[in-house]
Structure 1
Amino acid sequence: MQEFVVGITGTSGSGKTTLITAMLPWFRERGLRVNVVKHSHHPLELEPPAKDSARFRAAGASEVMVASPYRFAIVHELRGDAEPTLAEQLARLAPAELTLVEGFRSDAIPRIEVYRPVHGREPYYPCDPSIVALATDRNTDAALPCLPLNHPPEVAQFILALRERHTGKRMLHPAAHRHGFRAPDAS
Protein backbone atom coordinates (compact mmCIF):
# COMPACT_ATOMS: atom_id res chain seq x y z
CA MET A 1 0.00 0.00 0.00
CA GLN A 2 1.17 3.49 -0.79
CA GLU A 3 0.74 5.57 2.35
CA PHE A 4 0.71 8.95 0.61
CA VAL A 5 0.83 9.83 -3.08
CA VAL A 6 1.71 13.28 -4.41
CA GLY A 7 2.16 14.39 -7.99
CA ILE A 8 4.87 16.58 -9.44
CA THR A 9 3.44 18.24 -12.54
CA GLY A 10 4.52 20.90 -15.01
CA THR A 11 5.20 21.50 -18.65
CA SER A 12 7.89 19.62 -20.55
CA GLY A 13 11.37 20.80 -19.62
CA SER A 14 10.23 22.61 -16.46
CA GLY A 15 12.42 20.53 -14.13
CA LYS A 16 10.05 17.90 -12.72
CA THR A 17 12.51 15.02 -12.96
CA THR A 18 15.37 17.19 -11.69
CA LEU A 19 13.31 18.19 -8.64
CA ILE A 20 12.28 14.61 -7.87
CA THR A 21 15.86 13.39 -8.28
CA ALA A 22 17.12 16.12 -5.93
CA MET A 23 14.52 15.34 -3.24
CA LEU A 24 15.01 11.55 -3.16
CA PRO A 25 18.29 11.58 -1.17
CA TRP A 26 16.74 14.04 1.32
CA PHE A 27 13.79 11.71 1.94
CA ARG A 28 16.05 8.68 2.15
CA GLU A 29 18.32 10.37 4.72
CA ARG A 30 15.23 10.71 6.91
CA GLY A 31 14.39 7.04 6.69
CA LEU A 32 11.45 7.26 4.31
CA ARG A 33 10.77 4.60 1.72
CA VAL A 34 9.88 6.49 -1.44
CA ASN A 35 8.54 5.12 -4.72
CA VAL A 36 8.37 7.03 -7.99
CA VAL A 37 5.93 6.48 -10.84
CA LYS A 38 6.65 8.24 -14.13
CA HIS A 39 4.22 8.19 -17.00
CA SER A 40 5.62 8.21 -20.51
CA HIS A 41 3.79 8.81 -23.76
CA HIS A 42 6.58 7.03 -25.63
CA PRO A 43 7.11 3.27 -26.02
CA LEU A 44 9.32 1.86 -23.29
CA GLU A 45 12.40 0.03 -24.47
CA LEU A 46 14.32 -1.08 -21.41
CA GLU A 47 16.67 -3.47 -23.12
CA PRO A 48 18.27 -3.80 -26.55
CA PRO A 49 16.17 -5.86 -29.01
CA ALA A 50 18.74 -8.69 -29.20
CA LYS A 51 18.79 -9.34 -25.43
CA ASP A 52 17.06 -12.44 -24.08
CA SER A 53 14.37 -10.51 -22.20
CA ALA A 54 13.38 -8.57 -25.33
CA ARG A 55 13.32 -11.79 -27.31
CA PHE A 56 10.97 -13.37 -24.73
CA ARG A 57 8.58 -10.42 -25.06
CA ALA A 58 8.76 -10.49 -28.85
CA ALA A 59 7.95 -14.22 -28.77
CA GLY A 60 4.76 -13.56 -26.79
CA ALA A 61 5.51 -13.49 -23.05
CA SER A 62 2.99 -11.37 -21.12
CA GLU A 63 5.54 -10.38 -18.50
CA VAL A 64 9.27 -10.79 -18.32
CA MET A 65 11.21 -10.35 -15.10
CA VAL A 66 14.91 -9.66 -15.31
CA ALA A 67 16.58 -10.28 -11.96
CA SER A 68 20.08 -9.91 -10.59
CA PRO A 69 21.61 -9.77 -7.11
CA TYR A 70 21.26 -5.96 -7.30
CA ARG A 71 17.80 -5.22 -8.73
CA PHE A 72 14.95 -6.59 -10.76
CA ALA A 73 12.59 -5.22 -13.36
CA ILE A 74 9.30 -6.48 -14.69
CA VAL A 75 8.22 -5.57 -18.20
CA HIS A 76 4.52 -6.17 -18.84
CA GLU A 77 3.24 -6.19 -22.41
CA LEU A 78 -0.23 -4.68 -22.76
CA ARG A 79 -0.77 -6.25 -26.19
CA GLY A 80 -3.83 -4.12 -26.92
CA ASP A 81 -5.23 -4.05 -23.38
CA ALA A 82 -6.11 -0.69 -21.86
CA GLU A 83 -3.33 1.19 -20.14
CA PRO A 84 -3.54 0.52 -16.38
CA THR A 85 -4.82 3.37 -14.24
CA LEU A 86 -2.58 5.10 -11.74
CA ALA A 87 -4.34 3.18 -8.94
CA GLU A 88 -3.58 -0.10 -10.69
CA GLN A 89 0.04 0.90 -11.19
CA LEU A 90 0.38 1.93 -7.53
CA ALA A 91 -1.01 -1.43 -6.41
CA ARG A 92 1.92 -3.16 -8.13
CA LEU A 93 4.54 -1.25 -6.16
CA ALA A 94 6.13 -2.29 -2.89
CA PRO A 95 4.71 -0.44 0.14
CA ALA A 96 6.18 3.01 0.80
CA GLU A 97 5.54 5.98 3.07
CA LEU A 98 5.60 8.30 0.07
CA THR A 99 5.07 7.85 -3.66
CA LEU A 100 5.95 10.66 -6.06
CA VAL A 101 4.10 10.64 -9.38
CA GLU A 102 5.25 12.41 -12.53
CA GLY A 103 2.50 12.42 -15.12
CA PHE A 104 -1.00 10.94 -14.76
CA ARG A 105 -2.34 14.52 -14.72
CA SER A 106 -6.00 13.47 -14.93
CA ASP A 107 -5.84 11.52 -11.65
CA ALA A 108 -7.13 13.25 -8.52
CA ILE A 109 -4.06 13.37 -6.31
CA PRO A 110 -2.52 16.43 -4.65
CA ARG A 111 0.12 17.96 -6.91
CA ILE A 112 2.93 20.45 -6.83
CA GLU A 113 3.39 22.28 -10.11
CA VAL A 114 6.92 23.03 -11.25
CA TYR A 115 6.45 26.41 -12.89
CA ARG A 116 9.07 28.52 -14.66
CA PRO A 117 7.60 31.75 -16.08
CA VAL A 118 10.70 32.22 -18.26
CA HIS A 119 9.51 29.29 -20.41
CA GLY A 120 6.61 31.44 -21.58
CA ARG A 121 4.01 28.71 -21.03
CA GLU A 122 0.82 29.13 -19.10
CA PRO A 123 0.74 27.39 -15.73
CA TYR A 124 -1.70 24.58 -15.00
CA TYR A 125 -2.70 25.69 -11.49
CA PRO A 126 -5.45 28.20 -12.40
CA CYS A 127 -7.47 25.39 -14.03
CA ASP A 128 -6.35 22.41 -11.93
CA PRO A 129 -7.76 22.23 -8.39
CA SER A 130 -5.49 19.28 -7.55
CA ILE A 131 -2.46 21.61 -7.53
CA VAL A 132 -1.76 22.57 -3.91
CA ALA A 133 1.52 24.50 -4.36
CA LEU A 134 3.98 25.83 -6.89
CA ALA A 135 7.69 25.08 -7.01
CA THR A 136 9.05 28.03 -8.93
CA ASP A 137 12.21 30.02 -9.58
CA ARG A 138 10.40 33.38 -9.75
CA ASN A 139 8.02 35.38 -7.60
CA THR A 140 4.41 34.95 -8.64
CA ASP A 141 1.11 36.36 -7.47
CA ALA A 142 -0.41 32.88 -7.10
CA ALA A 143 -2.77 32.32 -4.20
CA LEU A 144 -1.02 28.98 -3.60
CA PRO A 145 2.07 28.38 -1.49
CA CYS A 146 5.16 29.14 -3.61
CA LEU A 147 8.16 26.96 -2.86
CA PRO A 148 11.71 27.68 -4.02
CA LEU A 149 12.40 25.35 -6.93
CA ASN A 150 16.13 25.83 -6.47
CA HIS A 151 15.94 24.59 -2.86
CA PRO A 152 14.59 21.03 -3.10
CA PRO A 153 14.79 20.35 0.68
CA GLU A 154 12.16 23.04 1.26
CA VAL A 155 9.87 21.45 -1.34
CA ALA A 156 10.49 18.07 0.32
CA GLN A 157 9.61 19.53 3.74
CA PHE A 158 6.36 20.84 2.30
CA ILE A 159 5.57 17.37 0.94
CA LEU A 160 6.19 15.80 4.34
CA ALA A 161 3.94 18.39 5.97
CA LEU A 162 1.27 17.69 3.37
CA ARG A 163 1.65 13.97 4.02
CA GLU A 164 1.17 14.54 7.74
CA ARG A 165 -1.94 16.60 7.12
CA HIS A 166 -3.46 13.92 4.85
CA THR A 167 -2.46 10.83 6.84
CA GLY A 168 -2.44 12.19 10.38
CA LYS A 169 0.94 10.53 10.90
CA ARG A 170 3.70 12.47 12.58
CA MET A 171 6.75 13.30 10.55
CA LEU A 172 10.14 11.79 11.02
CA HIS A 173 11.71 15.23 10.73
CA PRO A 174 10.50 18.28 12.70
CA ALA A 175 11.37 20.70 9.87
CA ALA A 176 8.24 19.49 8.07
CA HIS A 177 6.18 21.70 10.39
CA ARG A 178 7.70 24.84 8.86
CA HIS A 179 4.70 25.30 6.57
CA GLY A 180 2.21 25.19 9.43
CA PHE A 181 0.66 21.77 8.85
CA ARG A 182 -0.17 19.78 11.97
CA ALA A 183 -1.62 16.34 12.43
CA PRO A 184 -5.17 16.33 13.80
CA ASP A 185 -5.54 15.68 17.50
CA ALA A 186 -6.28 12.07 18.31
CA SER A 187 -9.47 12.79 20.23
Structure 2
Amino acid sequence: MRVYGIVGWKNTGKTGLVERLVAEITGRGFTVSTLKHAHHAFDIDQPGRDSHRHRVAGAQEVFLGSGKRWALMHELRGADEPRMETLLARLSPVDLVLIEGYKREGHAKIETHRAEAGQGLIASEDTTIRAVASNVPLEMDCPVFDLDDTAGIADFVLSEVGL
Protein backbone atom coordinates (compact mmCIF):
# COMPACT_ATOMS: atom_id res chain seq x y z
CA MET A 1 0.00 0.00 0.00
CA ARG A 2 1.08 3.54 -0.66
CA VAL A 3 1.34 5.69 2.46
CA TYR A 4 1.85 9.39 3.01
CA GLY A 5 2.02 11.26 6.27
CA ILE A 6 0.71 14.51 7.66
CA VAL A 7 2.65 15.73 10.69
CA GLY A 8 2.98 18.90 12.70
CA TRP A 9 2.74 20.31 16.15
CA LYS A 10 -0.55 20.54 18.04
CA ASN A 11 -3.11 22.99 16.62
CA THR A 12 -1.40 23.39 13.24
CA GLY A 13 -4.19 21.93 11.11
CA LYS A 14 -3.22 18.28 10.69
CA THR A 15 -6.68 16.78 11.15
CA GLY A 16 -8.39 19.39 8.99
CA LEU A 17 -5.89 18.81 6.20
CA VAL A 18 -6.27 15.02 6.41
CA GLU A 19 -10.06 15.42 6.32
CA ARG A 20 -9.91 17.66 3.24
CA LEU A 21 -7.38 15.39 1.50
CA VAL A 22 -9.55 12.32 2.07
CA ALA A 23 -12.53 14.11 0.49
CA GLU A 24 -10.43 15.48 -2.39
CA ILE A 25 -8.63 12.23 -3.21
CA THR A 26 -11.68 9.97 -2.89
CA GLY A 27 -13.53 12.50 -5.06
CA ARG A 28 -10.95 11.75 -7.74
CA GLY A 29 -11.89 8.07 -7.63
CA PHE A 30 -9.15 6.68 -5.39
CA THR A 31 -9.72 4.61 -2.24
CA VAL A 32 -8.23 6.07 0.93
CA SER A 33 -7.86 4.89 4.51
CA THR A 34 -6.34 6.76 7.42
CA LEU A 35 -4.18 5.88 10.40
CA LYS A 36 -4.15 8.39 13.26
CA HIS A 37 -1.61 8.24 16.06
CA ALA A 38 -2.89 9.24 19.49
CA HIS A 39 -0.53 10.30 22.27
CA HIS A 40 -3.15 9.70 24.93
CA ALA A 41 -5.57 7.03 26.02
CA PHE A 42 -8.65 7.02 23.86
CA ASP A 43 -11.85 5.05 23.86
CA ILE A 44 -14.28 4.41 21.03
CA ASP A 45 -16.46 2.54 23.45
CA GLN A 46 -18.80 3.82 26.16
CA PRO A 47 -19.27 2.57 29.71
CA GLY A 48 -22.44 0.55 30.04
CA ARG A 49 -22.42 -0.69 26.44
CA ASP A 50 -22.16 -4.43 25.93
CA SER A 51 -18.85 -4.14 24.09
CA HIS A 52 -17.39 -2.03 26.92
CA ARG A 53 -18.53 -4.64 29.42
CA HIS A 54 -16.76 -7.33 27.35
CA ARG A 55 -13.49 -5.35 27.42
CA VAL A 56 -13.72 -4.60 31.14
CA ALA A 57 -14.33 -8.30 31.77
CA GLY A 58 -10.94 -9.01 30.16
CA ALA A 59 -11.53 -9.74 26.46
CA GLN A 60 -8.34 -9.29 24.43
CA GLU A 61 -10.33 -8.19 21.36
CA VAL A 62 -13.91 -7.06 20.95
CA PHE A 63 -15.32 -7.07 17.43
CA LEU A 64 -18.50 -5.07 16.77
CA GLY A 65 -20.44 -5.55 13.56
CA SER A 66 -23.59 -4.12 12.06
CA GLY A 67 -25.16 -3.50 8.69
CA LYS A 68 -23.37 -0.13 8.51
CA ARG A 69 -19.83 -0.75 9.82
CA TRP A 70 -17.59 -2.89 11.96
CA ALA A 71 -14.90 -2.07 14.48
CA LEU A 72 -12.24 -4.13 16.18
CA MET A 73 -10.92 -3.02 19.56
CA HIS A 74 -7.73 -4.66 20.76
CA GLU A 75 -6.57 -4.21 24.33
CA LEU A 76 -2.80 -4.06 24.81
CA ARG A 77 -3.06 -5.00 28.49
CA GLY A 78 0.47 -3.83 29.21
CA ALA A 79 2.04 -4.89 25.90
CA ASP A 80 4.13 -2.41 23.93
CA GLU A 81 2.41 -0.01 21.54
CA PRO A 82 2.32 -1.67 18.11
CA ARG A 83 4.59 -0.29 15.41
CA MET A 84 3.04 1.69 12.59
CA GLU A 85 3.83 -1.11 10.12
CA THR A 86 1.96 -3.62 12.27
CA LEU A 87 -1.16 -1.44 12.23
CA LEU A 88 -0.89 -0.79 8.49
CA ALA A 89 -0.77 -4.54 7.88
CA ARG A 90 -4.22 -4.86 9.48
CA LEU A 91 -5.84 -2.47 6.98
CA SER A 92 -7.71 -3.69 3.92
CA PRO A 93 -5.96 -2.80 0.65
CA VAL A 94 -6.62 0.73 -0.66
CA ASP A 95 -4.91 3.07 -3.10
CA LEU A 96 -3.54 5.34 -0.37
CA VAL A 97 -3.26 5.44 3.42
CA LEU A 98 -2.93 8.91 4.90
CA ILE A 99 -1.13 8.79 8.22
CA GLU A 100 -1.69 11.53 10.77
CA GLY A 101 1.13 11.67 13.26
CA TYR A 102 3.94 9.14 13.57
CA LYS A 103 6.33 12.00 12.88
CA ARG A 104 9.39 9.97 13.86
CA GLU A 105 8.72 7.16 11.35
CA GLY A 106 10.55 6.98 8.01
CA HIS A 107 7.68 7.48 5.53
CA ALA A 108 7.31 10.62 3.39
CA LYS A 109 5.35 13.43 5.01
CA ILE A 110 3.95 16.93 4.70
CA GLU A 111 4.28 19.18 7.73
CA THR A 112 1.44 21.49 8.72
CA HIS A 113 2.45 24.86 10.12
CA ARG A 114 0.49 27.73 11.65
CA ALA A 115 2.47 30.78 12.74
CA GLU A 116 0.19 31.37 15.73
CA ALA A 117 1.02 27.92 17.16
CA GLY A 118 4.43 29.37 18.02
CA GLN A 119 6.40 26.23 17.16
CA GLY A 120 9.48 25.81 14.99
CA LEU A 121 9.43 23.70 11.86
CA ILE A 122 10.09 19.98 12.11
CA ALA A 123 11.10 20.03 8.42
CA SER A 124 14.29 21.95 9.17
CA GLU A 125 15.68 18.81 10.85
CA ASP A 126 13.73 15.97 9.18
CA THR A 127 14.47 14.87 5.61
CA THR A 128 11.34 12.67 5.47
CA ILE A 129 9.27 15.87 5.30
CA ARG A 130 8.90 16.55 1.58
CA ALA A 131 6.76 19.71 1.78
CA VAL A 132 5.21 22.17 4.22
CA ALA A 133 1.60 23.39 4.26
CA SER A 134 1.55 26.74 6.03
CA ASN A 135 -0.78 29.64 6.70
CA VAL A 136 2.12 32.08 6.17
CA PRO A 137 4.76 32.31 3.41
CA LEU A 138 7.98 30.45 4.23
CA GLU A 139 11.41 30.15 2.65
CA MET A 140 12.24 26.44 2.63
CA ASP A 141 14.36 23.95 0.70
CA CYS A 142 11.18 22.01 -0.11
CA PRO A 143 7.80 22.92 -1.65
CA VAL A 144 5.61 25.18 0.50
CA PHE A 145 1.84 25.12 0.00
CA ASP A 146 -0.85 27.35 1.38
CA LEU A 147 -2.48 25.30 4.13
CA ASP A 148 -5.85 25.74 2.40
CA ASP A 149 -4.62 24.62 -1.06
CA THR A 150 -6.17 21.18 -0.73
CA ALA A 151 -6.17 20.42 -4.48
CA GLY A 152 -2.52 21.43 -4.85
CA ILE A 153 -1.48 19.38 -1.84
CA ALA A 154 -3.48 16.41 -3.14
CA ASP A 155 -1.76 16.73 -6.54
CA PHE A 156 1.61 16.72 -4.77
CA VAL A 157 0.81 13.68 -2.59
CA LEU A 158 -0.61 11.68 -5.50
CA SER A 159 2.46 12.49 -7.60
CA GLU A 160 4.78 11.53 -4.73
CA VAL A 161 3.15 8.09 -4.36
CA GLY A 162 2.79 7.47 -8.09
CA LEU A 163 -1.00 7.74 -8.43
Superimposed CA distance per residue, residues 7-58 of structure 1 (whole angstroms, 9 cap, x where no aligned partner): 1000100000001111111111111111100011111211211100010011
Q: Which residue of 1 aligns with 2:74?
A: 76
Paired residue total: 163
Q: Which residue of 2 aligns with 1:160?
A: 158
**Aligned-partner residue type, residue 5 of structure 1:** V
Partner-residue secondary structure (3-state), 1:37: strand
Partner-residue secondary structure (3-state), 1:56: helix
**Aligned-partner residue type, residue 106 of structure 1:** R
Following the alignment from structure 1 to structure 2, what is the Cα–Cα distance between the partners of residues 104 and 120?
21
Q: Which residue of 2 aligns with 1:183?
A: none
RMSD (CA atoms): 0.9
**Aligned-partner residue type, residue 48 of structure 2:** A
**Aligned-partner residue type, residue 118 of structure 1:** E
The answer for unaligned runs of 5 or more in structure 2 is: none
Following the alignment from structure 1 to structure 2, what is the Cα–Cα distance between the partners of residues 30 and 150?
18
1:35 maps to 2:33: yes
**Aligned-partner residue type, residue 135 of structure 2:** D
Percent identity of equivalent pairs: 35
Following the alignment from structure 1 to structure 2, what is the Cα–Cα distance between the partners of residues 148 and 161?
18
The answer for unaligned runs of 5 or more in structure 1 is: 165-170, 172-187
Q: Which residue of 1 aligns with 2:95?
A: 97
TM superposition outliers: structure 1 runs of 4+ over 6 Å: none
Aligned-pair CA distance for 1:119: 2.1
Following the alignment from structure 1 to structure 2, what is the Cα–Cα distance between the partners of residues 154 and 123?
21
Q: Which residue of 1 aligns with 2:126?
A: 128
Larger Rg: 1
Following the alignment from structure 1 to structure 2, what is the Cα–Cα distance between the partners of residues 142 and 72?
43
Partner-residue secondary structure (3-state), 2:20: helix
Aligned-pair CA distance for 1:117: 2.1
Q: What pairs up with 1:143-154 in 2 under 5 angstroms?
A: 143-154=141-152
Partner-residue secondary structure (3-state), 2:26: helix
Q: Which residue of 2 aligns with 1:12?
A: 10
**Aligned-partner residue type, residue 149 of structure 1:** L
**Aligned-partner residue type, residue 162 of structure 1:** E
Moved more, 83-92 or 23-32: 23-32
